[in-house]
Amino acid sequence: MITHKPPMGWNTWNTFAANIDEELILDSADKLIAAGLKDAGYEYVVVDDCWALRERGKDGKLVPDPKKFPHGMRYVADKLHEKGLKFGMYSCCGTMICARFPASFNREFLDAQTFAEWGVDFLKYDYCFKPAGAVGAELYRRMGLALASSGRDILFSGCSWGADKTPEWIGTTGANMWRSTGDIFDCWESVKSLIRQQYDILPFGGRATTWICSSSACTARATSASRAARRTNISCTLPPGACSAPRS
């Protein structure tokens, strides 16, 4: 899969963390559209950490939490696709994802096929609980191959935080974009710090390799008094200097 411009959209983590469910995702998608962000190019709706059960199913596959996603992930994907949006999900190259749910280490091809069956368009791939001695570049290459073999175009978003000399190897993994920093915090000093961290690695980004994405985010808050609007915080990750969104 080749991307010619930075993918844009909304991710659940910074505002909602583990407090996600099917209704929230679809409500947020509606607000993204109503705010004009879809027309401006914000097309991905990404479900981050804490969407699964703590144990895989008997078939070895990841299992969505039935309390949060009672109709399953294929249902969420179909609803988003009906709205003209794309569906993103989250996993990790380690033995657990960051919130200690099952991750994709040694299950890359099974999980990639599962994501394809669910209609996923985007995979954020984190770096928590990487086994001692495991080589991050090899783990990311494995998932890159798995996604390429899944039978579906799934954008591969590497999230290794810039660790282990990520800029030197991420372009060999099949990742379409990669996060170059740790997490952002809700203050201007955090934003400035992350932007400064980009200066030395800019030569590693661009269409010849993959898009660099710091944790810097721009936010457009829905202003209507509805319950969905009160719950919804539309955020988009963009390359430094490219942060712009319509204001209501």
Known catalytic residues?
Answer: 126, 183
Residue 185: CB partners within 8 Å, gap ≥ 6? none
Q: Which of 45, 140, 49 is nearest to 86 (CA)?
A: 45
- Nearest Cα to 85, choosing from 132, 51, 35? 35
Residue 235 has phi, psi (to 5 degrees) of -120, 150
The Cβ of residue 137 has, within 10 Å, a number of other Cβ atoms equal to 17
User: Which sign does the torsion angle of CA 244, 43, 214, 205 carry?
Assistant: negative
